[in-house]
Amino acid sequence: MSAFFAIIARDVALAFRAGGGALQAVSFFALTIVLFALAVGPDLALMSDIAAPVLWTSALLATLISLEQVYRPDREDGSLDVLAETSDVLALTAFAKATAHWISTGLLLTAATPILALLFNIEGPALWPLLLSLLIGAPGLSLIGSFAAALTAALPRAGLLIAIIVSPLYAPILIFGAGAASAGAAGDPQYGANLALLGASSLFAAIFSPLASAAALRFNLD
Amino acid sequence: MPDAARYTVTLAACDLAVARGGRVIVDGVNLAIEPGDAVVIRGPNGAGKTTLLRAFAGLLTPAGGEVVVSDDRQRVFCGVLNAGKPTLTVNENLRFWAALYGARVAAARAALGLEPVEHRPMRELSTGYQRRLGLARLVLSGRAIWIVDEPTAGLDAASTTAFERLLAEHRARGGAAIIATHEPLDAPGARTLELQP
Protein backbone atom coordinates (compact mmCIF):
# COMPACT_ATOMS: atom_id res chain seq x y z
CA MET A 1 0.00 0.00 0.00
CA SER A 2 2.92 2.35 0.62
CA ALA A 3 3.82 1.94 -3.07
CA PHE A 4 0.32 3.18 -3.96
CA PHE A 5 0.80 6.41 -2.01
CA ALA A 6 4.43 6.75 -3.13
CA ILE A 7 3.26 6.78 -6.76
CA ILE A 8 0.65 9.44 -5.99
CA ALA A 9 3.15 11.58 -4.06
CA ARG A 10 5.80 11.32 -6.80
CA ASP A 11 3.40 12.14 -9.64
CA VAL A 12 1.93 15.13 -7.82
CA ALA A 13 5.45 16.40 -7.04
CA LEU A 14 6.47 15.95 -10.70
CA ALA A 15 3.36 17.79 -11.90
CA PHE A 16 4.46 20.89 -9.98
CA ARG A 17 8.14 20.74 -11.02
CA ALA A 18 9.58 22.16 -14.25
CA GLY A 19 7.87 20.56 -17.24
CA GLY A 20 4.99 19.21 -15.14
CA GLY A 21 1.46 19.73 -16.37
CA ALA A 22 -0.35 21.12 -13.30
CA LEU A 23 0.23 24.84 -13.76
CA GLN A 24 -0.20 24.57 -17.52
CA ALA A 25 -3.60 22.97 -17.05
CA VAL A 26 -4.84 25.57 -14.57
CA SER A 27 -3.47 28.43 -16.72
CA PHE A 28 -5.22 27.00 -19.78
CA PHE A 29 -8.44 26.69 -17.75
CA ALA A 30 -8.22 30.35 -16.68
CA LEU A 31 -7.34 31.50 -20.19
CA THR A 32 -10.32 29.80 -21.86
CA ILE A 33 -12.72 31.22 -19.30
CA VAL A 34 -11.35 34.74 -19.62
CA LEU A 35 -11.53 34.57 -23.44
CA PHE A 36 -15.11 33.32 -23.24
CA ALA A 37 -16.04 36.14 -20.88
CA LEU A 38 -14.51 38.71 -23.25
CA ALA A 39 -16.34 37.22 -26.23
CA VAL A 40 -19.74 37.12 -24.52
CA GLY A 41 -19.67 40.78 -23.54
CA PRO A 42 -21.37 42.62 -20.70
CA ASP A 43 -24.78 40.84 -20.63
CA LEU A 44 -24.87 39.63 -17.00
CA ALA A 45 -28.03 37.53 -17.36
CA LEU A 46 -26.62 35.68 -20.38
CA MET A 47 -23.33 35.16 -18.55
CA SER A 48 -25.00 33.51 -15.54
CA ASP A 49 -26.94 31.26 -17.93
CA ILE A 50 -23.90 29.97 -19.81
CA ALA A 51 -21.51 29.90 -16.82
CA ALA A 52 -21.91 26.17 -16.07
CA PRO A 53 -21.41 24.94 -19.67
CA VAL A 54 -18.44 27.29 -20.19
CA LEU A 55 -16.68 26.33 -16.95
CA TRP A 56 -17.33 22.63 -17.47
CA THR A 57 -16.10 22.65 -21.07
CA SER A 58 -13.00 24.61 -20.06
CA ALA A 59 -12.28 22.14 -17.25
CA LEU A 60 -12.65 19.25 -19.69
CA LEU A 61 -10.29 20.84 -22.23
CA ALA A 62 -7.73 21.71 -19.54
CA THR A 63 -7.81 18.08 -18.37
CA LEU A 64 -7.39 16.93 -21.94
CA ILE A 65 -4.19 18.85 -22.60
CA SER A 66 -2.50 17.43 -19.49
CA LEU A 67 -3.25 13.76 -20.24
CA GLU A 68 -0.20 13.14 -22.40
CA GLN A 69 1.95 13.61 -19.31
CA VAL A 70 0.40 10.70 -17.43
CA TYR A 71 2.24 7.73 -18.97
CA ARG A 72 4.43 8.88 -21.87
CA PRO A 73 7.30 10.26 -19.73
CA ASP A 74 7.30 7.06 -17.67
CA ARG A 75 7.60 4.99 -20.81
CA GLU A 76 10.31 7.22 -22.27
CA ASP A 77 12.60 7.17 -19.23
CA GLY A 78 12.15 3.51 -18.28
CA SER A 79 10.03 4.15 -15.15
CA LEU A 80 7.14 2.17 -16.60
CA ASP A 81 9.28 -1.00 -16.40
CA VAL A 82 9.97 -0.24 -12.74
CA LEU A 83 6.27 0.31 -12.01
CA ALA A 84 5.43 -2.95 -13.80
CA GLU A 85 8.01 -5.11 -12.05
CA THR A 86 7.12 -3.80 -8.58
CA SER A 87 3.35 -3.84 -9.02
CA ASP A 88 1.28 -6.67 -7.53
CA VAL A 89 -1.87 -5.50 -9.28
CA LEU A 90 -1.19 -3.28 -12.28
CA ALA A 91 -4.76 -1.94 -12.16
CA LEU A 92 -4.06 -0.55 -8.68
CA THR A 93 -0.94 1.21 -10.01
CA ALA A 94 -3.08 2.67 -12.81
CA PHE A 95 -5.60 3.82 -10.20
CA ALA A 96 -2.79 5.57 -8.28
CA LYS A 97 -1.64 7.32 -11.48
CA ALA A 98 -5.19 8.50 -12.23
CA THR A 99 -5.61 9.72 -8.64
CA ALA A 100 -2.39 11.71 -8.89
CA HIS A 101 -3.60 13.24 -12.15
CA TRP A 102 -6.86 14.26 -10.49
CA ILE A 103 -5.04 15.88 -7.56
CA SER A 104 -2.67 17.82 -9.82
CA THR A 105 -5.30 18.95 -12.34
CA GLY A 106 -8.97 18.28 -11.46
CA LEU A 107 -8.70 19.32 -7.83
CA LEU A 108 -6.60 22.34 -8.79
CA LEU A 109 -9.18 23.42 -11.41
CA THR A 110 -11.96 23.00 -8.84
CA ALA A 111 -9.99 25.15 -6.40
CA ALA A 112 -9.54 27.88 -9.03
CA THR A 113 -13.24 27.84 -9.96
CA PRO A 114 -14.60 30.25 -7.28
CA ILE A 115 -12.36 33.05 -8.60
CA LEU A 116 -12.97 32.36 -12.29
CA ALA A 117 -16.73 31.95 -11.77
CA LEU A 118 -16.85 35.61 -10.67
CA LEU A 119 -16.21 36.54 -14.32
CA PHE A 120 -19.53 34.88 -15.15
CA ASN A 121 -21.43 36.54 -12.34
CA ILE A 122 -21.56 33.31 -10.33
CA GLU A 123 -21.08 33.78 -6.61
CA GLY A 124 -22.64 32.89 -3.30
CA PRO A 125 -25.17 30.02 -3.30
CA ALA A 126 -25.04 29.56 -7.11
CA LEU A 127 -21.37 28.57 -6.78
CA TRP A 128 -21.96 25.44 -4.69
CA PRO A 129 -23.64 23.29 -7.36
CA LEU A 130 -20.79 24.13 -9.75
CA LEU A 131 -18.10 23.17 -7.21
CA LEU A 132 -19.93 20.03 -6.17
CA SER A 133 -20.39 18.88 -9.76
CA LEU A 134 -16.68 19.45 -10.48
CA LEU A 135 -15.67 17.59 -7.32
CA ILE A 136 -17.76 14.58 -8.35
CA GLY A 137 -17.09 14.69 -12.10
CA ALA A 138 -13.40 15.67 -12.40
CA PRO A 139 -12.16 12.33 -10.97
CA GLY A 140 -14.08 10.63 -13.79
CA LEU A 141 -12.31 12.85 -16.33
CA SER A 142 -8.90 11.84 -14.93
CA LEU A 143 -9.79 8.14 -14.79
CA ILE A 144 -11.09 7.93 -18.36
CA GLY A 145 -8.32 10.20 -19.61
CA SER A 146 -5.55 8.15 -18.02
CA PHE A 147 -6.86 5.10 -19.86
CA ALA A 148 -6.43 6.94 -23.18
CA ALA A 149 -2.97 8.02 -21.98
CA ALA A 150 -2.09 4.39 -21.25
CA LEU A 151 -3.27 3.32 -24.71
CA THR A 152 -1.09 5.94 -26.41
CA ALA A 153 1.93 5.81 -24.05
CA ALA A 154 4.25 4.66 -26.83
CA LEU A 155 3.24 7.31 -29.35
CA PRO A 156 4.98 10.67 -29.64
CA ARG A 157 2.67 13.72 -29.87
CA ALA A 158 -0.39 11.69 -28.98
CA GLY A 159 -2.33 14.73 -27.75
CA LEU A 160 -4.80 14.90 -30.62
CA LEU A 161 -5.30 11.13 -30.65
CA ILE A 162 -6.04 11.23 -26.92
CA ALA A 163 -8.62 13.96 -27.55
CA ILE A 164 -10.31 11.86 -30.23
CA ILE A 165 -10.37 8.77 -27.99
CA VAL A 166 -11.71 10.45 -24.86
CA SER A 167 -14.18 12.97 -26.30
CA PRO A 168 -17.03 10.47 -26.79
CA LEU A 169 -16.26 8.88 -23.41
CA TYR A 170 -16.35 12.30 -21.75
CA ALA A 171 -19.81 13.11 -23.14
CA PRO A 172 -21.86 11.68 -20.21
CA ILE A 173 -19.71 13.45 -17.61
CA LEU A 174 -19.95 16.76 -19.48
CA ILE A 175 -23.72 16.47 -19.91
CA PHE A 176 -24.48 15.51 -16.31
CA GLY A 177 -21.80 17.80 -14.84
CA ALA A 178 -22.86 20.95 -16.68
CA GLY A 179 -26.51 19.89 -16.26
CA ALA A 180 -26.16 19.54 -12.50
CA ALA A 181 -24.35 22.88 -12.16
CA SER A 182 -27.01 24.71 -14.23
CA ALA A 183 -29.96 22.99 -12.54
CA GLY A 184 -28.51 23.60 -9.09
CA ALA A 185 -27.97 27.30 -9.74
CA ALA A 186 -31.54 27.66 -11.11
CA GLY A 187 -33.12 25.71 -8.25
CA ASP A 188 -34.36 23.10 -10.74
CA PRO A 189 -35.44 19.73 -9.22
CA GLN A 190 -33.35 17.93 -11.88
CA TYR A 191 -30.26 18.88 -9.82
CA GLY A 192 -30.25 15.74 -7.68
CA ALA A 193 -30.79 13.38 -10.61
CA ASN A 194 -27.99 15.00 -12.60
CA LEU A 195 -25.61 14.76 -9.64
CA ALA A 196 -26.50 11.10 -9.08
CA LEU A 197 -25.89 10.25 -12.75
CA LEU A 198 -22.62 12.21 -12.66
CA GLY A 199 -21.54 10.20 -9.61
CA ALA A 200 -22.52 6.98 -11.34
CA SER A 201 -20.39 7.94 -14.38
CA SER A 202 -17.36 8.61 -12.19
CA LEU A 203 -17.83 5.36 -10.26
CA PHE A 204 -18.19 3.41 -13.49
CA ALA A 205 -14.90 4.97 -14.66
CA ALA A 206 -13.28 4.14 -11.31
CA ILE A 207 -13.99 0.44 -11.81
CA PHE A 208 -13.32 -0.03 -15.52
CA SER A 209 -10.63 2.54 -16.33
CA PRO A 210 -7.89 1.02 -14.09
CA LEU A 211 -8.56 -2.47 -15.51
CA ALA A 212 -8.48 -1.18 -19.09
CA SER A 213 -5.39 0.94 -18.37
CA ALA A 214 -3.56 -2.09 -16.96
CA ALA A 215 -4.30 -4.09 -20.11
CA ALA A 216 -3.13 -1.19 -22.30
CA LEU A 217 0.09 -0.80 -20.25
CA ARG A 218 0.92 -4.50 -20.50
CA PHE A 219 0.61 -4.18 -24.26
CA ASN A 220 2.84 -1.10 -24.26
CA LEU A 221 5.63 -2.81 -22.28
CA ASP A 222 6.36 -5.19 -25.16
CA MET B 1 16.78 -8.93 2.24
CA PRO B 2 19.09 -8.93 5.32
CA ASP B 3 22.83 -9.29 4.71
CA ALA B 4 23.10 -12.67 6.34
CA ALA B 5 20.42 -14.23 4.17
CA ARG B 6 21.28 -15.95 0.93
CA TYR B 7 19.23 -15.88 -2.20
CA THR B 8 17.96 -19.20 -3.53
CA VAL B 9 16.18 -18.04 -6.67
CA THR B 10 16.62 -19.87 -9.96
CA LEU B 11 15.62 -18.91 -13.50
CA ALA B 12 15.32 -21.14 -16.55
CA ALA B 13 14.61 -20.37 -20.17
CA CYS B 14 13.32 -23.25 -22.29
CA ASP B 15 13.53 -22.97 -26.06
CA LEU B 16 12.92 -19.24 -25.73
CA ALA B 17 12.17 -17.15 -28.83
CA VAL B 18 11.66 -13.40 -28.90
CA ALA B 19 10.31 -11.14 -31.63
CA ARG B 20 10.74 -7.47 -32.39
CA GLY B 21 8.21 -5.78 -34.64
CA GLY B 22 6.52 -9.15 -35.32
CA ARG B 23 9.74 -10.77 -36.59
CA VAL B 24 11.48 -13.51 -34.56
CA ILE B 25 15.06 -12.32 -34.01
CA VAL B 26 16.34 -14.83 -31.43
CA ASP B 27 15.15 -18.39 -30.95
CA GLY B 28 16.17 -21.65 -29.33
CA VAL B 29 17.64 -20.05 -26.20
CA ASN B 30 18.09 -22.51 -23.34
CA LEU B 31 19.54 -21.21 -20.13
CA ALA B 32 19.50 -22.35 -16.52
CA ILE B 33 20.56 -19.88 -13.86
CA GLU B 34 21.39 -21.01 -10.34
CA PRO B 35 22.30 -18.86 -7.33
CA GLY B 36 25.72 -17.26 -7.85
CA ASP B 37 25.65 -17.55 -11.65
CA ALA B 38 26.41 -14.79 -14.11
CA VAL B 39 25.66 -14.85 -17.82
CA VAL B 40 27.06 -12.28 -20.22
CA ILE B 41 25.12 -11.86 -23.45
CA ARG B 42 27.19 -10.69 -26.40
CA GLY B 43 26.37 -10.04 -30.01
CA PRO B 44 26.42 -7.34 -32.66
CA ASN B 45 23.92 -4.46 -32.78
CA GLY B 46 20.46 -5.67 -33.67
CA ALA B 47 21.13 -9.24 -32.54
CA GLY B 48 18.34 -8.98 -29.99
CA LYS B 49 20.20 -8.61 -26.70
CA THR B 50 17.86 -6.02 -25.21
CA THR B 51 14.73 -7.80 -26.44
CA LEU B 52 15.98 -11.06 -24.92
CA LEU B 53 16.72 -9.32 -21.61
CA ARG B 54 13.18 -7.92 -21.48
CA ALA B 55 11.83 -11.44 -21.99
CA PHE B 56 14.04 -12.72 -19.12
CA ALA B 57 12.71 -9.87 -16.98
CA GLY B 58 9.12 -10.82 -17.71
CA LEU B 59 8.41 -7.46 -19.35
CA LEU B 60 8.00 -8.92 -22.83
CA THR B 61 5.86 -11.86 -23.83
CA PRO B 62 8.07 -14.44 -25.59
CA ALA B 63 7.23 -15.38 -29.18
CA GLY B 64 7.90 -19.01 -28.20
CA GLY B 65 9.12 -21.09 -25.30
CA GLU B 66 9.02 -19.84 -21.73
CA VAL B 67 10.92 -18.28 -18.85
CA VAL B 68 10.41 -19.97 -15.50
CA VAL B 69 11.44 -18.24 -12.27
CA SER B 70 11.22 -19.85 -8.87
CA ASP B 71 10.08 -16.52 -7.38
CA ASP B 72 8.41 -14.05 -9.70
CA ARG B 73 9.17 -11.03 -7.45
CA GLN B 74 12.93 -11.57 -7.43
CA ARG B 75 13.88 -10.13 -10.81
CA VAL B 76 15.05 -6.56 -11.29
CA PHE B 77 15.54 -5.09 -14.76
CA CYS B 78 17.86 -2.15 -15.47
CA GLY B 79 17.78 -1.13 -19.12
CA VAL B 80 19.92 1.47 -20.89
CA LEU B 81 17.51 4.08 -19.55
CA ASN B 82 18.06 4.86 -15.91
CA ALA B 83 14.37 5.06 -14.97
CA GLY B 84 14.91 8.16 -12.85
CA LYS B 85 13.02 11.44 -13.06
CA PRO B 86 15.19 14.38 -14.24
CA THR B 87 13.44 16.93 -12.02
CA LEU B 88 13.68 14.85 -8.83
CA THR B 89 16.87 14.84 -6.78
CA VAL B 90 18.98 11.72 -6.38
CA ASN B 91 17.56 11.15 -2.90
CA GLU B 92 13.96 11.64 -4.09
CA ASN B 93 14.46 9.12 -6.88
CA LEU B 94 16.02 6.62 -4.49
CA ARG B 95 13.27 7.11 -1.90
CA PHE B 96 10.57 6.54 -4.51
CA TRP B 97 12.20 3.28 -5.61
CA ALA B 98 12.67 2.27 -1.98
CA ALA B 99 8.91 2.64 -1.43
CA LEU B 100 8.17 0.52 -4.52
CA TYR B 101 10.62 -2.27 -3.67
CA GLY B 102 10.04 -2.08 0.09
CA ALA B 103 13.73 -1.33 0.70
CA ARG B 104 16.08 1.27 2.18
CA VAL B 105 18.15 3.84 0.30
CA ALA B 106 21.31 4.27 2.41
CA ALA B 107 23.20 1.10 1.41
CA ALA B 108 22.51 1.52 -2.30
CA ARG B 109 23.46 5.22 -2.24
CA ALA B 110 26.77 4.40 -0.55
CA ALA B 111 27.45 1.38 -2.79
CA LEU B 112 27.39 3.53 -5.95
CA GLY B 113 29.12 6.54 -4.35
CA LEU B 114 26.17 8.87 -4.84
CA GLU B 115 26.53 10.87 -1.61
CA PRO B 116 28.31 13.85 -3.24
CA VAL B 117 25.32 14.47 -5.52
CA GLU B 118 22.47 13.24 -3.32
CA HIS B 119 20.67 16.62 -3.18
CA ARG B 120 21.08 17.48 -6.87
CA PRO B 121 18.31 16.98 -9.43
CA MET B 122 19.06 14.06 -11.72
CA ARG B 123 19.09 16.25 -14.85
CA GLU B 124 22.10 18.15 -13.49
CA LEU B 125 24.18 14.99 -13.11
CA SER B 126 26.83 13.84 -15.58
CA THR B 127 26.11 10.78 -17.74
CA GLY B 128 28.27 8.66 -15.47
CA TYR B 129 26.48 9.73 -12.27
CA GLN B 130 23.09 9.22 -13.95
CA ARG B 131 24.15 5.67 -14.83
CA ARG B 132 25.30 5.11 -11.27
CA LEU B 133 21.89 6.22 -10.02
CA GLY B 134 20.27 3.76 -12.46
CA LEU B 135 22.52 0.95 -11.22
CA ALA B 136 21.81 1.87 -7.59
CA ARG B 137 18.29 0.54 -8.15
CA LEU B 138 19.73 -2.99 -8.61
CA VAL B 139 21.36 -2.88 -5.18
CA LEU B 140 18.40 -1.10 -3.60
CA SER B 141 15.82 -3.58 -4.89
CA GLY B 142 17.31 -6.40 -2.81
CA ARG B 143 16.19 -8.77 -5.55
CA ALA B 144 18.09 -11.92 -6.49
CA ILE B 145 18.32 -11.80 -10.27
CA TRP B 146 19.82 -8.69 -11.84
CA ILE B 147 18.98 -8.27 -15.52
CA VAL B 148 21.12 -5.43 -16.85
CA ASP B 149 21.60 -3.85 -20.27
CA GLU B 150 25.01 -2.20 -20.87
CA PRO B 151 25.75 -1.57 -17.17
CA THR B 152 29.10 0.11 -17.70
CA ALA B 153 28.28 2.35 -20.68
CA GLY B 154 29.31 5.88 -19.71
CA LEU B 155 31.13 4.80 -16.54
CA ASP B 156 34.78 5.64 -15.83
CA ALA B 157 37.29 2.91 -14.98
CA ALA B 158 36.88 3.30 -11.22
CA SER B 159 33.08 3.10 -11.41
CA THR B 160 33.29 0.06 -13.68
CA THR B 161 35.51 -1.65 -11.12
CA ALA B 162 33.06 -0.64 -8.39
CA PHE B 163 30.19 -2.21 -10.35
CA GLU B 164 32.24 -5.41 -10.87
CA ARG B 165 32.85 -5.56 -7.12
CA LEU B 166 29.13 -5.10 -6.37
CA LEU B 167 28.35 -7.86 -8.87
CA ALA B 168 30.86 -10.18 -7.17
CA GLU B 169 29.34 -9.42 -3.73
CA HIS B 170 25.85 -10.01 -5.09
CA ARG B 171 26.88 -13.40 -6.51
CA ALA B 172 28.64 -14.32 -3.26
CA ARG B 173 25.29 -13.88 -1.51
CA GLY B 174 23.66 -16.26 -3.94
CA GLY B 175 22.42 -13.61 -6.33
CA ALA B 176 22.60 -14.05 -10.08
CA ALA B 177 22.95 -11.72 -13.05
CA ILE B 178 22.22 -11.65 -16.75
CA ILE B 179 24.15 -8.85 -18.41
CA ALA B 180 24.19 -7.71 -22.02
CA THR B 181 27.25 -5.68 -22.92
CA HIS B 182 29.72 -4.80 -25.64
CA GLU B 183 32.39 -3.83 -23.16
CA PRO B 184 34.84 -6.06 -21.31
CA LEU B 185 33.46 -7.08 -17.93
CA ASP B 186 35.47 -8.77 -15.22
CA ALA B 187 33.09 -11.38 -13.84
CA PRO B 188 34.96 -14.56 -12.86
CA GLY B 189 33.19 -17.77 -13.85
CA ALA B 190 30.58 -15.97 -15.97
CA ARG B 191 29.16 -17.87 -18.91
CA THR B 192 28.83 -16.19 -22.27
CA LEU B 193 25.79 -16.36 -24.52
CA GLU B 194 26.75 -15.36 -28.06
CA LEU B 195 23.90 -14.11 -30.24
CA GLN B 196 24.23 -14.29 -34.02
CA PRO B 197 23.02 -11.39 -36.16
Walk me through the domains of chain B, giving residue ranges and CATH numbers: 38-49+73-194 (3.40.50.300)
Asked if the Cβ–Cβ distance from A86 to B100 is below 8 Å, we say yes
Q: According to the model, what pLDDT value does residue A61 have?
A: 96
pLDDT tops 90 at residue B4: no
- Mean pLDDT to the nearest integer, B15-41: 93
* Of B61, B83, B87, Cβ closest to residue A14: B87
Cα–Cα nearest to B29, from B19, B38, B148: B19
The residue segments making up the domain with residue A156 are: 2-221
| B60 contacts on A by Cβ (under 8 Å) | 221-222
Q: According to the model, what pLDDT value does residue A116 have?
A: 95
User: Is A1 near chain B, with CB under 8 Å?
Assistant: no
Within 45-104 of A, beta carbons closer than 8 Å to B belong to: 73, 76-79, 81-86
Q: According to the model, what pLDDT value does residue A8 have?
A: 97
pLDDT tops 50 at residue B1: no
Ranges of chain A whose pLDDT falls below 70: 1
Instruction: Say how many domains are in chain A.
Output: 1
Q: According to the model, what pLDDT value does residue A1 have?
A: 60
Consecutive H or E run containing A26:
helix A22-40
Q: Of A194 and B196, which is predicted with more confidence?
A: A194
User: Is A219 near chain B, with CB under 8 Å?
Assistant: no
User: Is A2 near chain B, with CB under 8 Å?
Assistant: yes
pLDDT in tens, B101-154: 998 999 999 999 999 999 999 999 999 999 999 999 999 999 999 999 999 998
Asked if the Cβ–Cβ distance from B85 to A3 is below 8 Å, we say no
pLDDT tops 60 at residue B2: no
**Nearest-Cα residue of chain B relative to residue A73:** B85
pLDDT in tens, B164-181: 999 999 999 999 999 999
Distance in angstroms (rounded) separating the CA atoms of residues B103 and A2: 11
Asked if the Cβ–Cβ distance from A3 to B99 is below 8 Å, we say yes
pLDDT in tens, B37-67: 999 999 999 899 999 999 999 999 999 999 9
ipTM of the prediction: 0.92
